[in-house]
């Protein structure tokens, strides 16, 4: 299962990470977010050790969502060297999620 983080974890786990990071911006009430959860868990398992994968609830952490311009969910953003690298919105096939990490 993919680790859920909060604003308090953001600096250390995402911006300070030495490896690439994929963040799933979601909400508990979001149907497409629930549909994507198993896909994100698969990506996390396949990329374990090379990439960190986290989920962040936009309702509980609106500051982070606002900072990165998250207007609809699910939104997936990859980070490299603490900077946003690639972004995609909505339910996506696993291949599209993996492309964020290329």
| C-beta of residue 92 within 8 angstroms of C-beta of residue 38 | no
pLDDT at 60: 97
Q: Note down the domain range covering 69.
A: 3-99
Look up 96 and say whether it is catalytic: no
pLDDT confidence tier of residue 1, bands split at 50, 70 and 90: confident
Catalytic hit among 33, 39, 40, 64: 33
Work out how many domains the chain is built from and give that number: 1
pTM: 0.96
Q: What percent of the chain has pLDDT over 90?
A: 98
Look up 28 and say whether it is catalytic: no
Catalytic hit among 14, 30, 56, 58: 30
CATH number of the domain to which 8 belongs? 3.40.30.10
Segment 72-87, tens digit of pLDDT: 999 999 999 999 999 9
């Amino acid at each position: 299962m993919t680790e859920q983080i909060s604003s308090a974890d953001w600096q250390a786990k995402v911006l300070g990470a030495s490896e690439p990071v994929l963040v799933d911006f979601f909400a508990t009430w979001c149907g497409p977010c629930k549909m994507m959860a198993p896909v994100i868990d698969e990506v996390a398992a396949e990329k374990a050790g090379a990439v960190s994968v986290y989920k962040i609830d936009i309702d509980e952490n609106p500051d982070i969502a606002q900072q990165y311009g998250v207007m609809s969910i699910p939104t997936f953003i990859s980070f490299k060297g603490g900077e946003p690298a690639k972004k995609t919105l909505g339910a996506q096939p696993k291949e599209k999620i993996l492309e964020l990490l290329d």
